[in-house]
A and B are shown apart, each in its own frame.
Chain A
Amino acid sequence: MVEEAKVVLLGSGFSMFGMRAKIALAEKGIKYEYMEEDLANKSPLLQEMNPIHKKIPVLIHHGRPICESLIIVEYIDMVWPNNSPLLPSDPYHKAQARFWADFVDLKVYHASRRVWISKGDEQEVAKKDFLESLKQLEEFLGDKPYFGGDTFGFVDVALIPFYCWFYSYETFGNFKVEAECPKLISWAKRCMQRESVSETLADEKEVYEGILDYKDKFMLN
């Protein structure tokens, strides 16, 4: 049974979506219990808390579940507004932040997945789409230190977990993100100087080994 005021986060492995929630909680200095899920053998708690999607991350607060990583981050920002505000207070900039966070999910995530899953021509298309989506983000970033402007914000949280996956995409796809998007890599390194990020992001080589392992187990070569 989950205690009322306790904060629990259900996550798994190298999921960039779980990392978003962890970074947000760390930014706010919230103590929480982390429970690692085995996605091949989902716990009764996960199935009870996210019966619709049965996916992680799930944040459990006051015994109630919040699902979907960006919704979780907005919830965290609203419930604990005083430390490290993640969303801008200006409605237009807030809307822009939501647009670009959704863009990460719509464009960056799907293309990046295809980069490590596919081969040949399909992979070339995936690489092109992935790099194009990063370039569009780079353009939005402009000369700002963070997507949130002077402060680390919502879009930064949405995108930075992908940084520990870049090595895997680059190795599978035989390319370098830095060659195409140097500003983005500078941004990522700047984010890595934040404890919330450096303590949360997985080791990129471990992510790569994890993908190799997954491909071995679940995919035909």
Chain B
Amino acid sequence: MAKDYGEVKLFGVVGSPFVRRVQIALELKGVKYTFIEEDLKNKSDLLLKYNPIHKKVPVLVHNGKPLAESLVIIEYIDEIWRNHPFLPQEPYDRALARFWSKFIDEKCLPPISKASFTACKEERDKGTEESLEALEFLENELKHKFFGGETIGIVDIAAGFIAFWLPAIEEAVGLKILTHEKFPKLSKWSEEYTNHVVVKENLPQRDKVVGFFKARYASIINASK
């Protein structure tokens, strides 16, 4: 008889790359869960109760117990549901996977945001330069089909932002960062990742995401005038 893991709920919004990370993790493991859509302009009492510290999504609630922060949640999922492991067992490789996941959040995402959603052109150019530097490290790190080897691992899930949201941002604001010329391996990986049978079912609609970023960019430029 299949083991009963109990009730799983995920609080999130469809457009958030961090929420999608958790969804992809759950789907890859074949975990049944209920998705609870939040309105970030009017956060529910439940969300505020489950994540009083950051008041953000995603929040995973497993058998009534809440967890926040996407990478923390993914490691938890990996420990409870043992199929399709996201992290290597060997301590050194495990440490490396954690290092690269953290690198993506701390060194890739902020400069990409700076390169796109800043009014000052000088800042945007600086952001572009920093993004290119950061992606260069990732490009050199990619040695197999995925960062996780032959199957998707935690670093791939974390890097989903680069595979899907970055190209959408590039289209929305007229930026060129992730090019085939500069990043042949990362570009190929992006295609593999976003076309993966499970991942592609768990990404938002591209035109909506592009539209969202176009609006955000316009409001930042307008506010600076």
Contacts and interface: CB of A to CB of B under 8 A. Distances in A.
Contacts of B65: 92
B137 A92 contact: no
Contact of A91 (B79, B92, B103): B79
A75 B76 contact: no
Interface in A11-62: 52, 61-62
B61 to A, nearest CB: 11
Interface in A137-160: none
Interface in A88-103: 91-92, 94-96, 98-99, 102-103
Contacts of B62: 92
A66 B93 CA distance: 10
A94 B95 CA distance: 16
B103 A71 contact: no
Given A78-B94, A79-B91, A92-B65, A52 B79 contact: no
B152 interface: no
A67 B102 CA distance: 11
A110 interface: no
Nearest to A107: B53
Contacts of B80: 91
A193 B76 CA distance: 32
B79 A99 contact: no
Contacts of A75: 91-92, 94-95
Contact of A136 (B53, B72, B91, B102): B53
Contacts of A91: 76, 79-80
Nearest to A96: B67
Interface in A106-153: 136
A52 B103 contact: yes
Contacts of A99: 67-69, 72
Contact of B99 (A61, A68, A92, A94): A68
| Dominant SS among interface residues on chain B | helix
B92 A98 contact: no
Contacts of A68: 98-99, 102
Interface string B190-223: 0000000000000000000000000000000000
Contacts of B75: 95, 98
A95 B70 CA distance: 11
Contacts of B10: none
A204 interface: no
Given A91-B80, A95-B67, A71 B91 contact: no
Contacts of B178: none
Interface string A61-90: 110101110011011001100000000000
Nearest to A67: B99
A55 B85 CA distance: 30
Interface in B58-107: 62, 65, 67-69, 72-73, 75-76, 79-80, 91-92, 94-95, 98-99, 102-103, 107
Question: Which 8 residue pairs across A and B have the least CB separation, nearest first?
Answer: A95-B76, A91-B79, A78-B91, A75-B95, A66-B95, A98-B72, A71-B98, A99-B72
Interface of B: 53, 62, 65, 67-69, 72-73, 75-76, 79-80, 91-92, 94-95, 98-99, 102-103, 107, 137
Interface of A: 52, 61-62, 64, 66-68, 71-72, 74-75, 78-79, 91-92, 94-96, 98-99, 102-103, 136
25 contacts: A52-B103, A52-B137, A61-B92, A64-B92, A66-B92, A66-B95, A66-B99, A68-B98, A71-B95, A71-B99, A72-B95, A74-B94, A75-B92, A78-B91, A79-B91, A91-B80, A92-B67, A94-B76, A95-B76, A98-B72, A99-B67, A99-B68, A102-B72, A103-B53, A136-B53
